[in-house]
Amino acid sequence: MKNKQMRWQLPFLILLIIGTIFILRRHSNPPYQNNKGRIFGTLYNITYQSEDDLQEEIEAVLNKVDGALSPFNDTSIITRINRNEEVVPDSFFMRVFDLAKIISKETNGAFDITVAPLANAWGFGFKAGTGVDSLTIDSLRRYVGFEKVWEENGRIRKTDENVMLSCSSVAKGYGSDVVAALFDKKGIKNYMVEIGGEIVLKGRNHKNELWKIGVNKPIDDSLALNQELQTVLSISDKGMATSGNYRNFYYKDGKKYAHTIDPRTGYPVQHNILSATVIAKDCATADAYATAFMVMGLDSVKLLCARHPELDAYLIYTDENGNMATCVTDGMKAYLQEKP
């Protein structure tokens, strides 16, 4: 009788064991989730290894960043500061504000969040362009300069009410950092957070490889249709950002006007750097320096990177013969899959 009972019980026991193994394997190796959407006027694409779909929480923290830094949000902290209202900035705003001040000093003003009046005038800001001439530029430059804004007793102070701020050159990178911090808090070890091309990477992808990120060739492409790659980078545990003038520009009277404004002159940059890709400890830092490098020019970037070996850069520029060339820091070479 006992042998007969065992024969009946054995298949159920085997199924129980198989089911237990399946559950344990699934728990120890969660699937990779992928969330896409819009924020900050651009697209986000986020991949992470988790049992749970966290898109609702992701969008909640991104909306907090938007509420701090978006000049298109009528109730955001930065908008209220630009309207000269008395407002207590939150930790999201202050993190970016403090970082911006540091990088402004490091780059001698090539990066400057007070560039907003000039960006607006040229048609690349959060207000419609007013048309520009040399007199307009000279008058607006009076309100530009990182030393014209500071924090005092929990408030942002300005030398003049016409000083305005724009964090568009760092907000996407910071947003990526905020989502990464959410994942870290939840113990997620493998993820890629990308917002408008600004990226944070940690751990490995679903193939158990380092994350592979392409750098586009800087070909004029205002519709973002060209996806031809210059090179591919293998990265983990870093922030990465790329800045270039090949997608945000316009022509007027036969002349090209790029969206990167030099805060020190008031005019769009005209030097030979076509795009700057930066890898740093976090994405906000990479984002800000990538913008600054587009303003600074090749020689100044080389000097700054020599002072800051924690920054890795991949620069694409036109040489004296008009040919496309690259300049790569020593640290960046470790990430290259395809050598320049």
Ordered structural domains, the chain, with CATH: 34-158 (3.10.520.10), 205-335 (3.10.520.10)
Q: How far apart are the first and last CA of the chain?
A: 76
pLDDT at 190 over 70: yes
Extract the runs of DSSP E, i.e. beta strands, from the chain. 32-39, 42-49, 149-152, 155-158, 191-195, 198-202, 211-216, 229-235, 238-244, 249-252, 255-258, 273-280, 312-318, 324-328
**pLDDT tier for residue 299 given thresholds of 50, 70 and 90:** very high
Closest CA to 81 of 165, 184, 201: 165
Q: Say if residue 247's pLDDT is above 80.
A: no
Report the share of the chain in percent with pLDDT over 70. 82
What is residue 246's predicted lDDT score, i.e. its pLDDT? Answer: 60
Q: How far apart are CA 91 and CA 171, in angstroms?
A: 14
pLDDT tens digits, one per residue of 193-235:
999 999 999 999 999 999 999 998 887 554 455 568 899 999 9
Confidence (pLDDT) at 18? 57
Asked if residue 73 has pLDDT above 60, the reply is: yes
pLDDT tens profile 100-144 = 999 999 999 999 999 999 988 888 766 665 667 789 889 999 999
Residues ≥6 apart with Cβ < 8 Å to 143 = 114, 117, 160, 162, 163, 164
228 φψ region: left (φ > 0), alpha (ψ -120 to 50), beta (else): beta
Q: What tokens does 40 get?
A: 């900050």
The pLDDT assigned to 180 comes to 98
More confident residue, 245 or 21: 245
pLDDT of residue 192: 98
Q: Choose from 166-180, 245-259, 318-332 the range with maximum mean pLDDT.
A: 166-180
Average predicted confidence (pLDDT) for the chain: 87
Q: Which pLDDT does position 253 carry in this prediction?
A: 44
For residue 316, pLDDT beyond 80: yes
Give the residue with greater pLDDT, 160 vs 9. 160
